[in-house]
Amino acid sequence: YLQEECLTQERRQLIASLPTEKGWVANHLHQYQGFWHTTRQLLAVLTCQNQFQAQDTDILLVTTPKSGTTWLKAIVFALMNRVQYPNPEVKHPLLAENPHVLVPFLELELYIDNRVADFTTFTSPRLFGTHLPLVSLPDSVKNSACKLVYLCRNPKDTFVSLWHFTNKLRTKDMGENSLEETFDKFCRGVCLYGPFWDHVLEYWKESLKKPERVLFLKYEEIKEQPKVQLVRLAQFLGCPFSAQEETNGVVDEILKLCSFDTLSNLEVNKTGKLVSGEEYKAFFRRGEVGDAKNHLTPQMMEKLDQITQDKLHDSGLIF
């Protein structure tokens, strides 16, 4: 892949004009529309903003990185395809493919590396994943009636998950990033699609303004009450579970299929990798709430709590 191909004169000038910081894995992060992107991803964001044509029936799964994107993709895919696969334990695409393949990312997959995005294999409603902040969504998304499901996770666990994940993406030569160095960056908002708090807050406000358009979910809430959240999700997406489905255990079946244990133990997820090189197993680590306390000092925990309080204090959103 030649990054040069994506770099028109206009884009070069734009990138040169943006604030830059050293990335966690890539050399550079650029702050575009208030949020940080690697050079490669920023180019894809620009292409996606220019080219993506949303349809009213599209469903966008929007997440902050490491908030449970893989899980959400699996759940919504299983939910929307439940009629086609009535016996998911025996036959289901999720048993043979990673959720990121079944629900591709807009900017990180379909438009990456100057690709001509191919939508011919999609059936309606089309399902896409994205980490784009609200401000950077393509105009066609803003102007259509498509639905957005937003998922986030408490900042402490998100940070710890991101620290582990990015260290897995670093080569042996690069060595691992120290917890302290990346913690400082995360607190300053300098991480992929950060600042974390701004990302969450934009979608939180939008979900209050347009509840029929944006459903706001938290990882911890799905962990705590998976059935309640799945029923809520189905209602929001216009395909509620019938009484018969509920008594037949369809809700439980979907949750079991998409559970950490089931997905992480599948052959495909133990051995496969994305075209872009990330091993599927990197997306499954512990899948628990509260793991941050095993890695962060009490001072670090306090600092993140303080930032969270400062940033979200009058929003009604709490973690």
Check binding of 130 to ligand A3P (CB under 6 A): no
Tokens 């009636």 found at: 145
Q: Is 164 a catalytic residue?
A: no
Among 45, 254, 258, 304, binds ligand A3P (CB under 6 A): 258
Question: Quick one: 157 or 202, whose CB is closer to ligand A3P?
Answer: 157
Cα–Cα distances in angstroms (integers) from residue 69 to residues 66, 171, 184, 241, 261, in the given order: 7, 24, 24, 23, 16
Query: Annotated catalytic residue: which of 37, 131, 199, 295?
Result: 131
63 contributes a contact to ligand A3P by CB under 6 A: yes
- Two tokens, residue 303: 């600092």
Which of 43, 263, 296, 304 lies at the binding interface for ligand A3P (CB under 6 A)? 263
For the bound state, the minimum distance from the C-beta of residue 18 to ligand A3P, rounded and expressed in Å, comes to: 25
| Ranges within 286-315 binding ligand A3P (CB under 6 A) | 286-287, 291
Instruction: Scan residues 156-185 and list those touching ligand A3P (CB under 6 A).
Output: 157, 161, 164
Nearer to ligand A3P, 46 or 233 (CB): 233
Measured between alpha carbons, how far is 241 from 225 in angstroms, rounded to an integer? 16
DSSP 273: B
Q: How many helices (H) and strands (E) does the chain have?
A: 17, 7
Paired tokens of 17: 């004009």
Our CA angle for 269, 155, 62, nearest 5°, is 55
Stretch that binds ligand A3P, among 40-48, 194-202, 224-232, 253-261 (CB under 6 A): 253-261
Identified binder of ligand A3P from the candidate list 66, 147, 199, 218, rule CB under 6 A: 66
Is residue 284 within the footprint of ligand A3P (CB under 6 A)? Answer: yes
Closest CA to 107 of 32, 159, 184, 188: 32
Least separation in angstroms between residue 75's CB and ligand A3P is 8
Contact 171, 180 (CB under 8 A): no
The region of 16-24, 68-76, 188-196, 247-255 touching ligand A3P under the rule CB under 6 A is: 68-76
Exposed/middle/buried for 280, CB within 10 Å: 0-12, 13-18, 19+? buried
Quick one: which of 52, 71, 150, 204 contacts ligand A3P (CB under 6 A)?
71
| Number of residues lying near ligand A3P (CB under 6 A) | 21
* Torsion-angle region of 316 (φ positive above 0: left; ψ -120 to 50: alpha; else: beta): left
- As measured in angstroms, the least distance from the Cβ of 146 to ligand A3P is 21
Contacts of 10 by beta carbon, 8 Å cutoff, 6+ apart: none
Q: Which is nearer to ligand A3P, 15 or 64 (CB)?
A: 64
Residues identified as active-site: 131
- Interacting residue ranges for ligand A3P, rule: CB under 6 A: 63, 65-71, 157, 161, 164, 258-260, 263, 283-287, 291
